[in-house]
Chain A
Amino acid sequence: MKAAILSADEMRRALTRIAHEILERNKGAEHLALIGVHTRGIPLAQRLAAKLRELEGVEVPLGRLDITLYRDDLSEIARQPIIRETEVPFDLARRRVVLVDDVLYTGRTVRAALDALIDLGRPEGIQLAVLIDRGHRELPIRADYVGKNLPTARSEVVKVKLAETDGLDSVELWDLDDVRGEQA
């Protein structure tokens, strides 16, 4: 590991701040919905929903989105990605949807998520919340809510670990070569 970026406490505080910003910008939680992008966007959306419940006493509808079938490189890639479940159990019409993901990088995942979401219905608006914005956008996409802006090199990897998926909360910066070495 090259650097520890966020501890569990810092992550909690970042999410609390995002929850406040969501409420402020949308003037409350009415007509809001949170949709997490597989994989780590889902627990992050759940945590934000819990914070909104804590702050406003409202239950914001939650959904999960898998973007595999919307990837723009799908017919070219060598490995077949596993398709996970998309579940949006509410009507998107007249909802302001906050799309939640862990890391914003090239913007291609978000583009795919926007396409996938719009095929499910026509929300009143879509906003984007990410825990880490690491830069290097390849598309004109920016986040509305950012836990931490983290300038990175393309040769680096941001590892977000969450208690729900990885057993602990942390954000770490790694060198790509070290990650490959670890996986080999």
Chain B
Amino acid sequence: MTGPKPKHLLDFQDWSPERLSALLDNADTMSQVLDRPVKKVPALQGLTVCTAFFENSTRTRVSFELAARRMSADVVSFAAGASSVSKGESIRDTIEVLTAYKVDAFVVRHAAAGAAHLVARYSGKPVINAGDGRRAHPTQALLDAYTIRREFGSLEGKKVAIIGDVRHSRVARSNAELLPKLGAEVVLCGPATLLPRDLAAAGVTLTTDPKEALRNADAVMALRLQQERMDAGYIGSLQDYARQYQVNDDLLAFAPEHAIVLHPGPMNRDVEISSQVADGPRSRILAQVENGQAVRMSTLYHLLVGRQ
């Protein structure tokens, strides 16, 4: 495999397409493990994974904790609200204490971009970024890529339309970084106010026209409209937004029949996605959730086994 093995998964900068493909290949094996009567392998026996969540999350945290346990790692869980962080302890002190307890890897979520990098610096242990501010959410992008790959066999030449609040979405940013590396084309689509121009790059195009975005798309991803951030006047009204950008049957008519629908969750039903589509035959939203565990097991395997 090309290049040195990355120690962390903070974003995809240090990850070659070959390594990313190998991680997704291994997710197939992990997925088989999850289909068995005994949904557990002893691969990470003796190691301890700490999920350090400085920002609220249910699904990502549960998914990581189950993934670690399925690999037989011990899991220590840490939520900022119930910790000494709420008494004023710094991230650095918190992480150094946990490292002193012989934690072998950290899974970090934080509202501030770059927090996972800080943890990597202070702990010296492998760190998986489980979402830092608006910047990155690499395992979500990996599970999206894996879900699309499972559907079509490959990502090469596939077109993925990502629609919604791109500005505030770390999922969109990570997908825009990952999918072109794996040979797919990404179209980011949303109202001009929610579509930062600096995201245009090789393999990534921007448009405000959802019909244009959906033309020839193999996968359509609706992004959560972060209503808590809409006070700043990014959109006229929810109704206006939904009328133009909601992924519903009318809009999907502009995509090929084989196109599947994704959503990173949690969903605002009937805002960015209609319930009909979310629960419909083209939806792979639950498959994404299921695949998330396998992809996270594979990520832990890649970072914790065979350290160079």
Q: Which residues of A contact B (CB under 8 A)?
A: 66, 68-71, 74-75, 77-83, 85-86, 115-116, 119-121
Tell me, rounded to whole Å, the shortest Cβ–Cβ distance linking B28 to chain A: 8
Say whether B232 faces chain A, with CB atoms less than 8 Å apart: no
Query: In whole Å, how far is A38's beta carbon from the nearest beta carbon of chain B?
Result: 12
Interchain residue pairs with CB less than 8 A apart (7)? A66-B29, A75-B46, A77-B305, A77-B306, A81-B306, A83-B29, A120-B36
**Total CB contacts across the A-B interface at under 8 A:** 59
B28 / chain A contacts, CB cutoff of 8 Å: 85
Contact partner, A80, options B29, B33, B41, B302, Cβ 8 Å = B302
* A170–B62 CA distance with the chains assembled, in angstroms: 51
Choose among B33, B47, B308 the residue that contacts A78 (Cβ–Cβ < 8 A): B308
Q: Which residues of A contact B47 (CB under 8 A)?
A: 75
> What is the number of residues of chain B that contact chain A, defined by CB distance less than 8 Å?
27
Quick check: A85 and B29 within 8 Å, CB to CB?
A: yes
A75-B47, A83-B29, A86-B29 are contacts. A119–B306 as well, Cβ < 8 Å? no
> In the bound complex, do residue A119 and residue B38 qualify as a contact, i.e. CB atoms below 8 Å apart?
yes
Chain B positions near chain A (C-beta within 8 angstroms)? 5, 22, 25-26, 28-29, 32-33, 36-38, 40-47, 71, 301-302, 304-308
Consensus secondary structure, chain A interface: loop
Inter-chain contact A115/B42, CB cutoff 8 Å: yes
B31 CB, nearest partner CB in chain A, Å? 12
Give every chain B residue within 8 A of A86 (Cβ-Cβ): 29, 32
Question: Are the C-beta atoms of A74 and B305 separated by less than 8 Å?
Answer: yes
Query: From A121, which residue of chain B is reached at the shortest CB distance?
Result: B37
How far is it, in angstroms, between the C-alpha of A74 and the C-alpha of B305 when the chains are bound? 6
Question: Assuming A69-B43, A86-B29, is B36 touching A75 (CB within 8 A)?
Answer: no
Chain A residue with the shortest CB-CB distance to B43: A69
Report Cα–Cα, A119/B22, bound state, in Å: 25
Q: Do A80 and B305 have beta carbons less than 8 Å apart?
A: yes
